[in-house]
Amino acid sequence: MIEKLLVLSAVDDCPLEPLATVEVVAEDSAQKYPQKKCLLPSINILLIENIPQSGEILYPHLAEIDYICYQVHTCPYSHLTPGVVAQAKPNLLVLIAQGDHVLKAVQTLQQRYPHLPLVVIDPSDRPDLATQILHSGAQDYLSFQELSPNLLARSFRHAIDRHQVEQQLLRQAQYDRLLVQITQHIHQSLDLATILEAAVKDVRELLGCDRVLVYRFLEDWRGIMDVEAVVPPWFSALGDVVGDSCFTERYIEAYKRGRIHVVNDLDTAPLVPCYRDLLAHYQVKANLVVPIVVEGRLWGLLICHQCAHPRDWQDSEIELIKQISTQLAIAILQAELYQKAQAEIQERKAIEAQLLYQARHDRLTHLPNRWFFEEQLRLTLSYAAEHPHYHYAVLCLDIDRFKTLNDSLGHGTGDLFLQAFAQRLTRCVSPQDVVARLGGDEFAVLLNDIEGIEHAQAIAHQLQDRLNHPFEIDHYTLYSTVSIGLVMGNPHYTSSEELLRDADMAMYHAKTKGHNRIDVFDPVMLQQVRDRLYLEVELRQAIERGDFVLHYQPIVKLRSQSLKGFEALLRWQKGDTLISPKVFIPVAEETGLIFELSRWVLHNACEQLQQWQQRYPKLQSVGFTMSINLSANQFSLPTLVAEIQQTLEHYHLAGHFLKIEITESTLMQHLDSAREILAELKAMGVRINIDDFGTGYSSLSYLRNLPLDGIKIDRSFISQMDRSQEDLEVVHTILVLARNLHLDCIAEGIENTTQLQLLRSLRCPFGQGYLFAPPLTTDKAEVYLQEHIL
């Protein structure tokens, strides 16, 4: 047992003198209230007197209570201040007052000191006032008439106990409200920083801590003070990174298992030196640490610091911090999931944007593609429809001879050239214009907001001039020209497809007229294209129906005018009309139908030759030949030699009865493979003639190096030789050249006797033309054959 005294301190002019532990009191008090033994903890009472010396009534009763010791501090009500209360550190407030002011005094004390229980002692007995006083927050109401030691002991103890229960309930309600508030905030917000900042601020204010922190672990188990609420004078730890290996080794594993770490007093707590030093660095006297575990993963710590003095952390406080930690873990998980979802959304948007970009742009040049260009055209059409005075134009550009560049230097160099071309083209136009790559070597430009056709043509000429400048590509200096088609926008256009169609048509027209041209669209072009398309349809149908026939033009020996052979010429029998090859052959070559037609010519010409040889055996002995023409497309076929050989074998014809005529341009286009192909044909006995000689390259090199049998002088020289000395000299030169190279020579297009006599005088061995006979039908050709050979 600890012997204690009833300690009295009566200070009339508060503040009180400090009374922490008092062993000796005033002599008169000791005589009045002798020393006693206390069985229960002492109760510290602040006696507030509204009636002078009224406390004297209480002291005798308190002194008679054997098992409780009391420390009593007195202060007049008029002198009571928060400082007095703080100095006294009471467990209980006792107010002695009477009259009408007692109720107001009770209300004032409850407002100022709600954390302390209050007992009111009224010298007068007023039951009517008792109810109001109790409703105002007092724990008990006593009158002087009923005072006794037991009553006071019971009243004071019950007041303190009830008040503690009420305070606990109040704190729990506050804790619950804080948890609800944090939970609602988590549900209403995805901003983790805002949630954490609000949580630490509310915890600090509710628990009265000096510093509350959210400590987040980094990848290497160092940690950063991520969020903080702190009150002066204690310094901020926000942003500090803790990387003490001792702390990490000793405490991380424990936190991973969900362990809560409580330090009530740094001076007495059993801590390892590194942790004690860490807390001392942050001026911590008491510490409460709760791990924040997110789906089994230690994310961080929720830390409460008491810096001013040690603190006994209550179970309810620890439980609150645990529950808040759980809620913060939910918020963190929610934020992480949201961030992950946002990242996935952003990634998906980036992918979608990339896919959209790829869908709209050319992969090689990164220019808008046809689809995107047509979208821009539609927007321009829509705007122009609402603004009649708005002018625009569309250019289609095609790089001349790009295929030759691509094939000769390789596709890698070709791609680099296209990229450089696209960059220069883009730099040549204004930012409001749209440049696109439509495909291959074809580009388009939308000229917006121009003044008219002259302005559009001037821009086209500027483009052409700048694009004609050399390009330095992959150690090559490359030159290019462009063919440009131009179409002006007008109200008649209702779709982007029409605009592009007409610009492309004008560009195609420019290419057919020669390279490096600019052609403006004319409606006649459209009609020509439509006629061409209609011709293609008819041509396909004619092939299916077999509407083609062969006519045969005699090739004669000019000296004797005896028949040497026939040239098989294809004709389209369209009803009663014969369509010239000049009309349909270009379409057949462009569409690929030429392969089927050429095959048909080869088979039918050989079949006819076989029939004539069978009827007229003399044809074999006189070396009668059949000449057919090979197109450039057919000459490029890898199966050409095999197909000719199979055809000859099928009709049992020797190779020397067949002559193949190839133009100079065809030969030069396939010069690399021509030597091998011609050699194989020669090995079969097939004879090779160069057709239209003099209009193309007329190279002595290929005449000397290729296995040729003859040349045919183009009709353009023959038709003028009787009127033009220059043409006569050309013919003479060709004939001399042929004789020197041991080549046969055939003059085409002989139409009069003057031309015949001149050719005879120049010793031209063979010729053909209307002077002898036009191309003849099979029946007429057979009659001609009978008349001139048999």
Q: Are 196 and 214 in contact (CB under 8 A)?
A: yes
Residue with more model confidence, 2 or 256: 256
Prior bond to 52 cis, omega within 30? Answer: no
pLDDT at position 26 is 31
Average the pLDDT over 667-694 and give the result. 87
Average the pLDDT over 24-48 and give the result. 57
Q: Are 309 and 284 in contact (CB under 8 A)?
A: no
Average the pLDDT over 132-153 and give the result. 85
- The structure tokens 């609000």 sit at 198
For the cut 50, the answer to whether the pLDDT of residue 15 exceeds it is no
Q: Looking at the domain 2-170, which fold is it?
A: Rossmann fold (3.40.50)
**What Cα–Cα distance (Å) separates residue 721 from each residue in 573, 694, 714?**
34, 14, 11
Q: 576-580, 633-637, 773-777 — which one is most confidently predicted on average?
A: 773-777
* Residue among 36, 206, 234, 61 nearest 145 (CA): 61
Q: Are 627 and 655 in contact (CB under 8 A)?
A: no
Q: Are 450 and 392 in contact (CB under 8 A)?
A: yes
Angstrom distance (rounded) from CA 443 to CA 177: 70
Q: For 261-273, write each residue's pLDDT tens digit.
A: 899 999 998 888 8
- Residue 267 φ then ψ, to 5°: -70, -30
Q: For 169-181, write each residue's pLDDT tens digit.
A: 777 777 677 777 7
pLDDT at position 222 is 82
For the cut 90, the answer to whether the pLDDT of residue 609 exceeds it is yes
State the first-to-last Cα distance of the chain, in angstroms, to the nearest integer. 161
Percent of the chain with pLDDT over 70: 93
pLDDT at position 19 is 34
Provide the Cα torsion 230, 232, 238, 240; round to 10°: -120
Average the pLDDT over 201-228 and give the result. 86
pLDDT at position 29 is 39
For the cut 50, the answer to whether the pLDDT of residue 17 exceeds it is no
Average the pLDDT over 121-136 and give the result. 83
pLDDT at position 12 is 39
- Indicate the burial class of 432 (C-beta count within 10 angstroms; 0-12, 13-18, 19 or more): exposed
Prior bond to 15 cis, omega within 30? Answer: yes
Query: Do strands 658-663 and 625-629 pair parallel, antiparallel, or not at all (unpaired)?
Result: parallel
What is the residue type of 549?
V
Same fold, 189-338 and 550-787: no
Query: Do strands 7-10 and 40-49 pair parallel, antiparallel, or not at all (unpaired)?
Result: unpaired
- Residue 295 φ then ψ, to 5°: 50, 50
DSSP-based three-state secondary structure for 21: coil
* Segments making up each domain of the chain, as ranges: 2-170, 189-338, 370-521, 550-787
Q: What is the CATH number of domain 550-787?
A: 3.20.20.450
pLDDT at position 515 is 85
pLDDT at position 102 is 86
Residue with more model confidence, 25 or 183: 183
CB < 8 Å & 24+ apart, contacts of 590-599: 591/536, 591/539, 592/633, 593/536, 593/539, 593/540, 593/543, 594/631, 594/633, 594/634, 595/633, 595/634, 595/637, 596/543, 597/543, 597/548, 597/570, 598/630, 598/631, 598/634, 599/643
- Neighbouring residues of 177: CB distance < 8 A, sequence distance ≥ 6: none
Query: Do strands 92-96 and 118-122 pair parallel, antiparallel, or not at all (unpaired)?
Result: parallel
Strand order in the sheet with 286-294: 241-242, 223-230, 211-217, 297-306, 286-294, 261-263
Q: 409-413, 576-580, 634-638, 770-774 — which one is most confidently predicted on average?
A: 770-774
Q: For 474-497, write each residue's pLDDT tens digit.
A: 888 998 899 999 999 998 898 999
Q: For 728-750, write each residue's pLDDT tens digit.
A: 999 999 999 999 999 999 999 99
Strand order in the sheet with 140-143: 7-10, 68-76, 40-49, 92-96, 118-122, 140-143
pLDDT at position 659 is 96
For the entire predicted model, the pTM comes to 0.51
Tell me the two tokens of residue 698: 């007329």
Q: Which CATH class is domain 189-338?
A: alpha beta
What is the residue type of 8?
L
Q: Are 625 and 565 in contact (CB under 8 A)?
A: yes
Angstrom distance (rounded) from CA 359 to CA 710: 55
Return mean pLDDT, the chain.
Answer: 86
pLDDT at position 30 is 37
Angstrom distance (rounded) from CA 647 to CA 607: 9
Average the pLDDT over 104-119 and give the result. 89
- Residue 752 φ then ψ, to 5°: -145, 170
DSSP-based three-state secondary structure for 663: strand
Angstrom distance (rounded) from CA 263 to CA 346: 45
pLDDT at position 697 is 59
Q: Which CATH class is domain 370-521?
A: alpha beta
Taking the mean position of all CA atoms in its chain, how far away is CA 346? 9
The count of C-alpha atoms lying within 13 angstroms of the C-alpha of 113, restricted to the half-sphere facing its C-beta, is 25
Q: 138-142, 275-279, 677-681 — which one is most confidently predicted on average?
A: 677-681
Count of residues making up the chain: 790
